[in-house]
Amino acid sequence: MSDERDTGHDHRHAHDHDHDGEGQDPPSDLALRVKALESLLVEKGLVDAAALDAIIDTYEHKVGPRNGARVVARAWTDAAYRQRLLTDATAAIAELGFGGRQGEHMIAVENTPRIHNLVVCTLCSCYPWPVLGLPPVWYKSSPYRSRAVIDPRGVLAEFGLEIGEDVEVRVWDSTAEVRYLVVPERPAGSEHLAEEALAALVTRDSMIGVGRAVPAPEAPRL
């Protein structure tokens, strides 16, 4: 059975599934095929190698998931910002200076003790580059894209994330029009941490929904 809710955008739906499915491993790394395609495009003069390297360097090393982690950490520490993020994620993210191509229309969804959110793109690999950097290989794989909707609990278990039966799993389908950012639950015992330290606990996987934030270190003893 499924519980599907129309959230007001075409192809934007939250699904609640609880079916047992057979596990499938993601395909092997696509790096060699990507490199071959890059070489072919450069050889034919369709792509400038230096410009391509600069773009990849920006998203891989300067953006990565750090921007998204800062957004989440701010939401954890600033209730007013959190509300703005959940109301209009695009504008709230822009407040911190992040935005642009692949992040024009953002929606933030929040994990709670009773709701766990998972993001997928069933049609291709739409992904919020300005806040999460380059998408991981598994996010673009056919098994993840299909099974995240059909058997989300099974997929999460394969990532080492067990979700209780009393927790609703909502699957959000990204499109070319809208992309999602999961705000993971703030780790217990993190009250003593400043915003920068909190950002270090936020992982890319937790902002996609296949993981949780890193546990907080113990507070120093006085």
- Catalytic (active site) residue 146: no
> What's the CA angle centered on 201, arms 196 and 205, to 5 degrees?
130
Of 39, 124, 142, 190, catalytic:
124
- Catalytic (active site) residue 125: yes
- Catalytic (active site) residue 124: yes
Of 126, 141, 190, 206, catalytic:
126
d(CA 62, CA 82): 24
* CB-CB contact of 149 with 31 (8 Å): no
| CA dist 173 → 3, 137, 200 (Å) | 14, 17, 27
Output the 3-class SS for 165-219.
Answer: CCCEEEEEECCCCCEEEEECCCCCCCCCCCHHHHHCCCCHHHHHCCCCCCCCCCC
| CA dist 110 → 21, 99, 148, 207 (Å) | 26, 20, 18, 10
- Catalytic (active site) residue 28: no
Q: Tokens 């800062």 — which residue?
A: 70
Of 121, 141, 190, 206, catalytic:
121
Q: Which residues are catalytic?
A: 121, 124-126
